[in-house]
Structure 1
Amino acid sequence: MWILFALLAAVAAAVVVTLSKAGIKDVDSSLAFAIQSVLILVISWTVVISQGNLPDVTRIERRVWIYLVAAGVLTCVSSLLSFRALKLGNASQVSPLTNFSLVFAVILAVLFLKEKVSWQLVAGAVLMAAGAILIAVSRD
Protein backbone atom coordinates (compact mmCIF):
# COMPACT_ATOMS: atom_id res chain seq x y z
CA MET A 1 0.00 0.00 0.00
CA TRP A 2 2.92 2.35 0.65
CA ILE A 3 3.78 2.30 -3.07
CA LEU A 4 0.31 3.57 -3.97
CA PHE A 5 0.54 6.41 -1.44
CA ALA A 6 4.04 7.30 -2.64
CA LEU A 7 2.93 7.43 -6.28
CA LEU A 8 -0.13 9.50 -5.41
CA ALA A 9 2.14 11.88 -3.49
CA ALA A 10 4.37 12.16 -6.56
CA VAL A 11 1.40 12.98 -8.80
CA ALA A 12 0.15 15.55 -6.27
CA ALA A 13 3.63 17.09 -6.05
CA ALA A 14 3.80 17.35 -9.84
CA VAL A 15 0.45 19.15 -9.90
CA VAL A 16 1.64 21.44 -7.08
CA VAL A 17 4.74 22.41 -9.08
CA THR A 18 2.64 23.17 -12.14
CA LEU A 19 0.03 25.19 -10.23
CA SER A 20 2.68 26.99 -8.19
CA LYS A 21 4.62 28.01 -11.30
CA ALA A 22 1.40 29.36 -12.83
CA GLY A 23 0.52 31.10 -9.56
CA ILE A 24 3.83 32.88 -9.00
CA LYS A 25 3.98 34.39 -12.46
CA ASP A 26 2.91 37.82 -11.18
CA VAL A 27 3.31 37.27 -7.42
CA ASP A 28 6.37 37.25 -5.16
CA SER A 29 7.45 33.68 -4.52
CA SER A 30 7.58 34.14 -0.72
CA LEU A 31 4.06 35.55 -0.68
CA ALA A 32 2.80 32.65 -2.78
CA PHE A 33 4.42 30.17 -0.38
CA ALA A 34 2.91 31.96 2.63
CA ILE A 35 -0.57 31.71 1.09
CA GLN A 36 -0.12 27.99 0.46
CA SER A 37 1.28 27.51 3.97
CA VAL A 38 -1.86 28.89 5.60
CA LEU A 39 -3.93 26.39 3.65
CA ILE A 40 -1.54 23.56 4.58
CA LEU A 41 -1.88 24.54 8.24
CA VAL A 42 -5.69 24.65 8.16
CA ILE A 43 -6.10 21.41 6.21
CA SER A 44 -3.52 19.41 8.19
CA TRP A 45 -5.00 20.38 11.58
CA THR A 46 -8.50 19.69 10.26
CA VAL A 47 -7.39 16.16 9.36
CA VAL A 48 -5.75 15.67 12.79
CA ILE A 49 -8.89 16.85 14.59
CA SER A 50 -11.28 14.87 12.38
CA GLN A 51 -9.26 11.69 12.97
CA GLY A 52 -9.40 12.28 16.73
CA ASN A 53 -5.61 12.58 17.05
CA LEU A 54 -5.46 16.00 18.76
CA PRO A 55 -5.01 14.51 22.28
CA ASP A 56 -1.89 12.68 21.01
CA VAL A 57 -0.04 16.01 20.86
CA THR A 58 0.51 15.90 24.63
CA ARG A 59 2.07 12.42 24.42
CA ILE A 60 4.85 13.36 21.99
CA GLU A 61 8.30 13.02 23.59
CA ARG A 62 10.69 15.98 23.78
CA ARG A 63 13.21 14.33 21.43
CA VAL A 64 10.48 13.73 18.84
CA TRP A 65 9.39 17.38 19.14
CA ILE A 66 12.95 18.44 18.34
CA TYR A 67 13.02 16.24 15.23
CA LEU A 68 9.60 17.44 14.07
CA VAL A 69 10.34 21.13 14.66
CA ALA A 70 13.70 20.87 12.87
CA ALA A 71 12.04 19.05 9.96
CA GLY A 72 9.31 21.71 9.88
CA VAL A 73 11.84 24.54 9.72
CA LEU A 74 13.74 22.76 6.95
CA THR A 75 10.48 22.10 5.09
CA CYS A 76 9.83 25.84 5.09
CA VAL A 77 13.36 26.64 3.95
CA SER A 78 13.13 24.00 1.22
CA SER A 79 9.77 25.30 0.02
CA LEU A 80 10.90 28.93 0.01
CA LEU A 81 13.97 27.96 -2.03
CA SER A 82 11.85 25.84 -4.39
CA PHE A 83 9.39 28.67 -4.94
CA ARG A 84 12.24 31.08 -5.65
CA ALA A 85 13.76 28.61 -8.11
CA LEU A 86 10.37 28.20 -9.81
CA LYS A 87 10.02 31.97 -10.07
CA LEU A 88 13.40 32.17 -11.83
CA GLY A 89 13.42 28.98 -13.90
CA ASN A 90 11.30 26.57 -15.91
CA ALA A 91 9.24 24.11 -13.88
CA SER A 92 10.41 21.27 -16.12
CA GLN A 93 14.01 22.02 -15.16
CA VAL A 94 13.56 23.15 -11.56
CA SER A 95 11.47 20.17 -10.49
CA PRO A 96 14.06 17.47 -11.31
CA LEU A 97 16.71 19.34 -9.35
CA THR A 98 14.47 19.83 -6.33
CA ASN A 99 13.67 16.13 -6.57
CA PHE A 100 17.40 15.47 -6.37
CA SER A 101 16.46 15.39 -2.69
CA LEU A 102 15.59 11.74 -3.33
CA VAL A 103 19.28 10.99 -3.83
CA PHE A 104 20.22 12.96 -0.72
CA ALA A 105 17.48 11.16 1.25
CA VAL A 106 18.94 7.79 0.27
CA ILE A 107 22.40 8.89 1.40
CA LEU A 108 21.11 10.29 4.70
CA ALA A 109 18.95 7.20 5.34
CA VAL A 110 21.99 4.97 4.90
CA LEU A 111 24.27 7.16 7.05
CA PHE A 112 21.93 8.14 9.88
CA LEU A 113 19.09 5.62 9.86
CA LYS A 114 21.40 2.69 9.08
CA GLU A 115 19.23 1.50 6.21
CA LYS A 116 20.76 -1.25 4.11
CA VAL A 117 22.50 -0.54 0.81
CA SER A 118 22.01 -2.82 -2.18
CA TRP A 119 23.36 -2.55 -5.70
CA GLN A 120 19.82 -1.76 -6.88
CA LEU A 121 19.61 1.15 -4.43
CA VAL A 122 22.95 2.56 -5.57
CA ALA A 123 22.12 2.05 -9.26
CA GLY A 124 18.71 3.67 -8.84
CA ALA A 125 20.18 6.67 -7.00
CA VAL A 126 22.85 7.12 -9.68
CA LEU A 127 20.23 6.90 -12.46
CA MET A 128 17.97 9.37 -10.64
CA ALA A 129 20.84 11.80 -10.20
CA ALA A 130 21.91 11.48 -13.82
CA GLY A 131 18.34 11.94 -15.04
CA ALA A 132 17.77 15.01 -12.87
CA ILE A 133 20.97 16.62 -14.08
CA LEU A 134 20.28 15.74 -17.71
CA ILE A 135 16.79 17.26 -17.58
CA ALA A 136 17.94 20.35 -15.65
CA VAL A 137 20.67 21.24 -18.14
CA SER A 138 18.52 20.57 -21.22
CA ARG A 139 17.90 23.50 -23.52
CA ASP A 140 14.48 24.77 -24.47
Structure 2
Amino acid sequence: MVHSSAWLYWALLSAVFAALTAIFAKLGVQNIDSDLATLIRTAIVIVVLSAFITYAGKWSNPLKLPLRTWLFLGLSGLATGASWVCYFRALKMGAASQVAPVDKLSLVLVAIFAFTFLGERLSLREWCGILMISGGVLLFAFKR
Protein backbone atom coordinates (compact mmCIF):
# COMPACT_ATOMS: atom_id res chain seq x y z
CA MET A 1 0.00 0.00 0.00
CA VAL A 2 1.34 3.42 -0.98
CA HIS A 3 0.75 6.20 1.50
CA SER A 4 -0.45 9.53 0.17
CA SER A 5 2.76 11.19 1.37
CA ALA A 6 5.06 8.63 -0.30
CA TRP A 7 5.67 11.13 -3.08
CA LEU A 8 7.33 13.45 -0.55
CA TYR A 9 9.95 10.84 0.35
CA TRP A 10 10.90 10.39 -3.30
CA ALA A 11 10.79 14.14 -3.98
CA LEU A 12 13.17 14.80 -1.07
CA LEU A 13 15.53 12.12 -2.36
CA SER A 14 15.31 13.73 -5.78
CA ALA A 15 16.33 17.06 -4.25
CA VAL A 16 19.31 15.46 -2.49
CA PHE A 17 20.48 13.78 -5.69
CA ALA A 18 19.91 16.96 -7.71
CA ALA A 19 22.08 18.87 -5.23
CA LEU A 20 24.80 16.23 -5.52
CA THR A 21 24.45 16.42 -9.30
CA ALA A 22 25.32 20.11 -9.26
CA ILE A 23 28.38 19.59 -7.06
CA PHE A 24 29.68 16.53 -8.92
CA ALA A 25 28.98 18.11 -12.32
CA LYS A 26 30.78 21.34 -11.40
CA LEU A 27 33.83 19.30 -10.41
CA GLY A 28 33.48 17.11 -13.52
CA VAL A 29 33.29 19.87 -16.14
CA GLN A 30 36.43 21.67 -14.98
CA ASN A 31 38.77 20.10 -17.56
CA ILE A 32 36.34 18.91 -20.24
CA ASP A 33 33.91 20.37 -22.76
CA SER A 34 30.49 20.69 -21.15
CA ASP A 35 28.72 18.95 -24.05
CA LEU A 36 31.04 15.94 -23.80
CA ALA A 37 30.42 15.90 -20.05
CA THR A 38 26.68 15.83 -20.71
CA LEU A 39 27.11 12.89 -23.10
CA ILE A 40 29.13 10.93 -20.53
CA ARG A 41 26.53 11.65 -17.84
CA THR A 42 23.74 10.53 -20.18
CA ALA A 43 25.55 7.30 -21.06
CA ILE A 44 25.97 6.51 -17.37
CA VAL A 45 22.27 7.16 -16.74
CA ILE A 46 21.34 4.80 -19.58
CA VAL A 47 23.59 2.01 -18.29
CA VAL A 48 22.46 2.34 -14.67
CA LEU A 49 18.75 2.54 -15.52
CA SER A 50 19.03 -0.39 -17.93
CA ALA A 51 20.64 -2.51 -15.22
CA PHE A 52 18.05 -1.42 -12.65
CA ILE A 53 15.06 -2.15 -14.90
CA THR A 54 16.50 -5.54 -15.85
CA TYR A 55 17.39 -6.49 -12.27
CA ALA A 56 13.99 -5.34 -10.92
CA GLY A 57 12.14 -7.31 -13.60
CA LYS A 58 10.42 -4.18 -14.91
CA TRP A 59 11.35 -4.65 -18.56
CA SER A 60 8.49 -4.65 -21.07
CA ASN A 61 8.44 -4.23 -24.81
CA PRO A 62 8.54 -0.47 -25.50
CA LEU A 63 7.28 -1.06 -29.04
CA LYS A 64 3.90 -1.99 -27.56
CA LEU A 65 3.45 1.42 -25.97
CA PRO A 66 0.83 3.77 -27.46
CA LEU A 67 2.01 6.40 -29.93
CA ARG A 68 0.86 9.16 -27.56
CA THR A 69 3.17 7.78 -24.85
CA TRP A 70 6.09 7.75 -27.29
CA LEU A 71 5.30 11.31 -28.38
CA PHE A 72 5.27 12.78 -24.89
CA LEU A 73 8.19 10.71 -23.60
CA GLY A 74 10.11 11.74 -26.72
CA LEU A 75 9.34 15.40 -26.12
CA SER A 76 10.29 14.97 -22.47
CA GLY A 77 13.59 13.38 -23.52
CA LEU A 78 14.33 16.25 -25.88
CA ALA A 79 13.55 18.78 -23.16
CA THR A 80 15.72 16.86 -20.67
CA GLY A 81 18.62 16.77 -23.11
CA ALA A 82 18.33 20.48 -23.81
CA SER A 83 18.10 21.20 -20.09
CA TRP A 84 21.20 19.12 -19.33
CA VAL A 85 23.24 20.76 -22.11
CA CYS A 86 22.28 24.21 -20.85
CA TYR A 87 22.86 23.24 -17.21
CA PHE A 88 26.34 21.85 -17.84
CA ARG A 89 27.31 24.90 -19.89
CA ALA A 90 26.07 27.18 -17.13
CA LEU A 91 28.02 25.15 -14.53
CA LYS A 92 31.15 25.38 -16.68
CA MET A 93 30.88 29.18 -16.68
CA GLY A 94 29.28 30.01 -13.34
CA ALA A 95 29.28 29.17 -9.67
CA ALA A 96 27.27 26.09 -8.69
CA SER A 97 25.70 28.13 -5.87
CA GLN A 98 24.24 30.45 -8.48
CA VAL A 99 23.52 28.07 -11.36
CA ALA A 100 21.58 25.49 -9.35
CA PRO A 101 19.11 27.97 -7.79
CA VAL A 102 18.44 29.60 -11.17
CA ASP A 103 17.89 26.13 -12.62
CA LYS A 104 15.25 25.65 -9.93
CA LEU A 105 13.28 28.46 -11.53
CA SER A 106 11.84 25.41 -13.27
CA LEU A 107 9.67 25.03 -10.15
CA VAL A 108 7.97 28.30 -10.98
CA LEU A 109 7.63 27.37 -14.64
CA VAL A 110 6.18 23.96 -13.77
CA ALA A 111 3.48 25.64 -11.68
CA ILE A 112 2.66 28.05 -14.52
CA PHE A 113 2.73 25.32 -17.20
CA ALA A 114 0.70 22.90 -15.04
CA PHE A 115 -1.91 25.63 -14.54
CA THR A 116 -1.94 26.54 -18.23
CA PHE A 117 -1.73 23.13 -19.90
CA LEU A 118 -2.87 20.60 -17.29
CA GLY A 119 -5.56 22.63 -15.57
CA GLU A 120 -3.94 22.22 -12.16
CA ARG A 121 -5.10 24.83 -9.69
CA LEU A 122 -2.93 26.23 -6.93
CA SER A 123 -4.23 28.05 -3.89
CA LEU A 124 -3.33 31.64 -3.09
CA ARG A 125 -0.95 30.30 -0.44
CA GLU A 126 0.79 28.10 -3.03
CA TRP A 127 1.10 30.96 -5.52
CA CYS A 128 2.67 33.04 -2.74
CA GLY A 129 5.20 30.23 -2.29
CA ILE A 130 5.93 30.29 -6.02
CA LEU A 131 6.51 34.06 -5.82
CA MET A 132 8.89 33.57 -2.88
CA ILE A 133 10.82 30.95 -4.84
CA SER A 134 11.08 33.44 -7.70
CA GLY A 135 12.42 36.07 -5.33
CA GLY A 136 14.94 33.62 -3.89
CA VAL A 137 16.15 32.73 -7.37
CA LEU A 138 16.68 36.41 -8.15
CA LEU A 139 18.62 36.89 -4.89
CA PHE A 140 20.95 34.01 -5.75
CA ALA A 141 21.30 34.93 -9.42
CA PHE A 142 22.34 38.49 -8.74
CA LYS A 143 24.37 38.05 -5.56
CA ARG A 144 27.46 40.22 -5.24
Shorter-chain TM-score range: over 0.9
Partner of 2:37 in structure 1? 32
Deviations along 1:42-94, one digit per CA (max 9) or x if unpaired, are 11111222222222524321001000011001100000000000001000001
Match of residue 92 from structure 1: 97
Over the aligned positions, Cα root-mean-square deviation in angstroms equals: 1.0
Tell me which amino acid in the other structure corresponds to 2:117: F
Distance 1:112 1:44 in 2: 29
- More moved, 46-55 vs 13-22: 46-55
Figure out how many residues of one structure are paired with residues of the other and give that number.
Answer: 139
TM-score scaled to structure 2, two decimals?
0.92
> Take 1:3 and 1:86, find their aligned partners in 2: how far apart are those partners?
28
Which deviates more, 113-122 or 95-104?
Answer: 113-122
Which residue does the alignment assign to 2:67?
A: 62
Kindly, what percent of the aligned residue pairs are identical?
A: 35
Counterpart for residue 20 of structure 1: 25
Structure 2: runs of 5 or more not aligned: 1-5
- Deviating beyond 4 angstroms after TM superposition, the runs of 4 or more aligned structure 1 residues are none
**Residue 101 (structure 1) aligned with residue 106 (structure 2):** yes
Gaps of 5+ in 1: none
Output aligned runs, 1:61-140, within 5 Å.
61-139=66-144
In the aligned structure 1, how far is the partner of 2:49 from the partner of 2:84? Answer: 17
CA distance in 2 between partners of 1:56 and 1:114 (Å) = 32
Partner of 1:45: 50
Amino acid at match of 2:86: L
Task: Find the residue that maps to 2:31 and give its secondary structure.
Answer: coil
Give the structure-1-normalised TM-score: 0.95
